[in-house]
Structures are given as structure tokens and as C-alpha cells.
Structure 1
Amino acid sequence: MQINVYSSAEEVAHEAAQWISSLAKSKIESKGSFSFAISGGRTPWEMLAKLAQENLPWEKINLFQVDERIAPEGHEDRNLTQLFQVLQGTRLMTRLNIFPIHVISENLQEACEEYAQHIEQITGNSKLDLIHLGMGADGHTASLIPGDKVCDVENQMIALTDQPYQGRQRMTMTYPLINQAENILWLITGEEKKEMLVRMLNKDPEIPAGKIKQDQAILMTDLL
């Protein structure tokens, strides 16, 4: 894994936005589009706000969600709600192709299958150009939660968590989808994550983050 260390979370967000912008330009030039998925979190939202200032052909960029809480539309618990707040008033709101996870569907299992199919239709092979990931202080990433059966899913690209986590059931990308991404970008900031970061870098299979492939990954952090 490529590791880039910065002095602050703000610098991590800035450098990540620059890196994504460069990758997007390269992919659009080579194949005409760029597809990536974003996780929630304070530093990622700062990154997205900075990315929104870049001069990119946004209509050729497809943005997916890595995971989402099962909550009503517009609820503050939803990553999508936070994402829209970040982008409100920017050019991205009208030009970027945003594909929300349908957690308000009456049949959530079907919604998982439909989202996976949609990713396949857009990408042609379910291989996203970039997946952004964060990590919790317990070693979870996306909504792959320690001890949850969702971590054992091998035959679905999108799946539901078996149990609520922090009060909400989740819908998430699974290892089969994440690990085939062309690029994975880790943004990990905050002192409370230092121990788990070491375990992740050592590929500790006891934490969900430790089972993400590292050969196509870059880590941006303020912790090392």
C-alpha cells in the first residue's frame, strides 16, 4: 500500500481531493468516464467540498455510495443527507451523476440487488475506478462491522448488516465488490484510530479493515 502522511486532517482532505481530481481526469481522458464511491465522515466531506472546486467535466463522473444507514429520506443519520449538504450550491448538484443507495425501498434485499445491478450497468463489469474508505475506532470499514454476518458475504456485491450498529441497520458494499476496485483510497484521521490503523496495515483478519486488499490502495493519514 502507498502511504502518504500529512500534518492534519485538513491537509489530508486537500491532498485527497487533488489526487481524486487527477485520477478522474486521467480516466475520463482514457475511457470517457469516471466512477467512484464515497464513504461518509468528517474528513471525506471536507474532501468532497474541496473536490467540488475543481474544474472537471462533472457530467462524466458517476458517484456511488459505499454504504448507508436505513433511515427516512432526508434524515440527518443518512450519509446522503450529509453529502447533499456539502454539495448544496455547487456546480456538482446539477452536473454530477449521483446514485443513492435505495434504503427507503419496501424490499431492502431487492434494493441491494438493484444497486449492484446498477453499478454493473454503469461500469460494465462492477469494477469501480475508485472506492473511498474510512475506518472506525473498532476497525470497521464501510458498514462491514466486527462480528456481523455481513463480513462473511461472498455472493453479493451489496448486502444488509445482520444487526443494527449505532442504532441503525446498514446497507453496504461487501468485500467482493470493494476488493475488485481498480483503486482504493483510505482516509484515516483521528488519534482514536491509531491502534486499528497499525492492525489494518498488518492485514489483521480479526478486524474488517484488515481484509481489504492493499495492492491497489493508497492511504492518506495524519497518524503515522
Structure 2
Amino acid sequence: MQINICENPVATAKAFAEYMLAWHKQHGAMNVALSGGSTPKILFDLLATDYAAAFDWTKINLYWGDERCVAPTDSDSNYKMTNEHLLAKVNIPEGNIHRVLGENDPEQEVIRYGQLIEQNLPKKDGNPVFDIIILGMGTDGHTASIFPHEIELLDSAKTCEVANHPETGQKRVTLTGPVLNQARSVCFLVTGDNKKEKIKQIFEEQDVAKSYPAYHINPKEGELIWFLDEAAASSYKKP
């Protein structure tokens, strides 16, 4: 596990952008699963401005680690946020954008999206292999849309599952634990003072952390990299 602590959310996003660019320069074509949230929004703005000309967008295929089951025009849509802050501003082919059809029936969409990923990506140990998966972490320790009350999705044999938000009941499509842990690189982008206790508990491997889905993300053969700002890392003291 690598831990990168940056001054603030913008610096955190920039550190990941530099990592992604270095990976792209070394390997070329890449399959990336995106995340929603406030820090990815900062990242997408950076990629659309400072890094727009640095990437060969024709070689980058974008997917989503999770999506709310809403229309692509809905304010809750991760795709809508990504489109407004990144996709509409860079020269990426339409065919390289593989969104979750949140407007479709969730049970049918997890099958369709799972099959799309399985067809497009290489496989290892029966799971599709993403090059980079971007993840966030909620204040409850959830990641992608795997919440503590549905932690069994970490062990699902399917590529995608329907998840349910614990408070609103909103349905979501999410990648499952085995797919997340098969990636060549998993990068957590976590910022904010409200995440500091969960970060401390996860990094110190406290027993309570085992109930957090984010704790269980550790690629079998790939890299696990945490990009944090100082606020999120403030309770953790490196040994």
C-alpha cells in the first residue's frame, strides 16, 4: 500500500493526475473506472484544463465504478457530472465512453453493463482487469456503492450488482469486490476532515475497520494507492 498525503483537495487531485499521466505514458492504452464525488470533480476539471493535451484520449476507455439509477440528465448522475466537467471538454471519442445506463431497469442493467465490461477487458482468474480504478470513501467506510449493510457484495461472483443506499433506498449499479481487487491499480482519492477517523482505523487495521468495505480493497496483484489531503490524514500517524 502506498500513501500520498497532499496539502489540500486540489493538490490531491493533481497528484493523482500526475500518476495517471505517468501510467499512460508508460503503457499507452488504458481502461479506467471513474468515481463520483467532490474530489473527482476537482480532478476532472484539472484533466480538462491543465492535462487536456497531455493525454491521447483516443487510447483511453472510460467506465464507471458505480452509478445511481437515474437518468443521465439527473443531478445525481455520476455520468452527468463527469460529462460536464471532463468529457465535453476533451477530445475523447464517443465510443470510448462506456456509461452505466442508469435510466434502465437496475436488474437488467447490471447484466448488460457486466457483459460489456467482460467483453471489452482482459480477464484474469475469471474477472475483468481494469488498468486503473478510481475510488472514493464515504464517511461510513463505503466505497464504489458497496455499503457496510451490503458488505457481501465484496464477495459476489458477478461483475456488477444492484446496491441500495442504506438511508434513501436509492438503487445503484456497482462493480463488485472481486473486480475491484483484480485491477492493476486501485487509487483512493479521499479528502476532508470528516474522513480522518475512518482513515486512521483502516490504516491501523483496527477491528472496527473490518466492517468498512473500503478496508477490504487490496488488489491481488496490483497496486493500492491512497491519495489523501492533510485533513483526511490528520488522525493517522505513520509508524
TM-score > 0.5, shorter chain as reference: yes
TM-score, structure 2 as length reference: 0.84
Preserved CA contact (<8 Å) 1:36 1:130: yes
Q: Please say if residues 146 and 154 of structure 2, whose CA atoms lie closer than 8 Å, have aligned partners that are also in contact.
A: no
Map 1:67-78 → 2, pairs under 5 A: 67-78=66-77
- 2:236 maps to which residue? none
> Is 2:68 the counterpart of 1:81?
no
* One-letter amino acid of the counterpart of residue 87, structure 1: L
- Aligned partner of 1:2 in structure 2 is 2
Cα distance, 1:212 vs. partner?
0.7
Secondary structure of the residue aligned to 1:92 is coil
Gap runs ≥5 in structure 1: none
Contact 2:58 / 2:92 at 8 angstroms: preserved in 1? Answer: no
Q: 1:155 is paired with a residue of what secondary structure?
A: coil
* Residues 122 and 43 (structure 1), Cα distance of their counterparts in 2 relative to 1, 3 Å cut: same
What letter is aligned with 1:39?
S
- Distance, in Å, in 1 between the alignment partners of 2:40 and 2:82 is 10
SS at match of 1:147: helix
Instruction: Report the residue type matching 2:213 in the other structure.
Output: P
Q: Distance in 1 between matches of 2:40 and 2:20?
A: 12
Q: Residue in 1 aligned with 2:237? A: none
Q: Do the aligned partners of residues 48 and 150 (structure 1) sit closer, same or farther apart at CA in structure 2, a change above 3 Å counting?
A: farther
- Measure the CA separation in 2 of the matches of 1:152 and 1:88: 30
Match of 2:63 in 1: 64
Deviation at 1:173, TM superposition (A): 0.7
The answer (yes or no) to whether the contact 1:70–1:170 under 8 Å persists in 2 is yes
Corresponding position of 1:26: 26
Give, as a single letter, the amino acid of the residue that structure 1 aligns with 2:218.
Answer: K
Change (3 A) 1:96 1:102: closer
Alignment of 1:48 onto 2:28: no
Number of residues of Structure 1 aligned to a counterpart in Structure 2: 219
Distance in 1 separating the partners of 2:45 and 2:178 = 29
Quick one: which of 208, 212, 218 aligns to 2:213?
Answer: 208
The equivalent of 1:36 in structure 2 is 32
* Residue identity opposite 1:219 in structure 2: W
**Quick one: which amino acid aligns to residue 91 of structure 1?**
V
TM-superposed CA distance for 1:97, in Å, is 1.4
Deviation digits for residues 69-95 of structure 1 (CA, Å, limit 9, x no counterpart): 111230001111111110265223546
Give the alignment of 1:134-149 within 5 angstroms. Answer: 134-148=136-150
* C-alpha contact (below 8 Å) 2:164/2:170 kept by paired residues: no
Match of 1:111 in 2: 109
Q: CA deviation at 1:151?
A: 2.9
Aligned partner of 1:220 in structure 2 is 227
The structure-2 alpha-carbon separation of the partners of 1:175 and 1:202, relative to structure 1 and needing over 3 Å to count, comes to farther
Tell me the CA shift for residue 113 of structure 1: 1.8
Amino acid at match of 1:116: G
Hey, what's the Cα distance between the residues in 1 that align with 2:66 and 2:167? Answer: 13
Q: State whether residues 149 and 161 of structure 1, in contact with CA within 8 Å, keep that contact through their aligned partners in structure 2.
A: no
**Residue 178 and residue 48 in structure 1: after superposition, are their counterparts in 2 closer, same or farther (change >3 A)?**
same
Question: Of residues 193, 197, 200 in structure 1, which corresponds to 2:199?
Answer: 197
TM-score, length-normalised on structure 1?
A: 0.90
2:67 and 2:201 map into 1 onto residues whose CA distance is 25
Q: Secondary structure at the match of 2:182?
A: coil
Instruction: List structure 1 runs of 4+ shifted beyond 6 angstroms.
Output: none
* Residues 1:89 and 1:123: Cα distance change in structure 2 (over 3 Å): closer
